[in-house]
Chains A and B, each alone.
Chain A
Amino acid sequence: MPMKVHVQTRLNGEEVEFLCEPRQSLLEVLRDVLGLTGSKEGCNNGNCGACSVILDGVLVNSCCVLGVETAGREVTTIEGIASPDGLHPLQQKFLEHAALQCGICTPGFIVAAKALLDKNPHPTEHQVRYWLAGNLCRCTGYDKIIRAVLDAAQTTEAKV
């Protein structure tokens, strides 16, 4: 059995440390080592976006990142999107627009949409669709998701 590596990183604004095998992906570390099951496995090869997290400000599929690669870096997961004051506007708009049905893709979409709005606070519909093309949804047909993201962009708090 491979020796575990001790990793220190910053996760959702907090310093954390964990042990993991070198072969474990960040997705496995989040789910199986840290108990953060909000990021989901849909394909494990970077094609569905259900495992989306933000790594040093960049949107990534955590199934394609190794746990050991996060040492000394900054990770944001779905669990870090809401604040103690309440839901992020994206989360609120997803609820109001009924932009989820089974909800399995929702964490990935919200993280991906936040990464978009952090870079481009006022995207066009085409820009939203292009950015989110790496997140698969099988239930909604995307219509209400796109509307929710565009509506969230209108809310000034989205800039924060």
Chain B
Amino acid sequence: MWIPSLLQSLTDGVDKVVVSGATVGEIIDHLEARFPGVKDRLVQGGEIRPHIAVAIDGDVSPEGLEQDVQESSEIHFIPALSGGR
């Protein structure tokens, strides 16, 4: 999982980590265990914050925290593009 640069102050500058988890939600929870404070930046009210999108291996997923991930998946948090193009 790639840590967005604006969160790297919470991860001691680490920019990517290997985290286990079957879903995006589990991965964020495991990340929070290692780097407290990260979850609150990504999650609000039980869902990914509205202006953030999750990309799994380059594909933006609409399933949010429920999205399944594979062992070798790359996960990125990128700005959500609101309202159409």
Q: Is chain B in direct contact with chain A in the complex (CB below 8 A)?
A: no
| Chain B positions near chain A (C-beta within 8 angstroms) | none
| Chain A positions near chain B (C-beta within 8 angstroms) | none
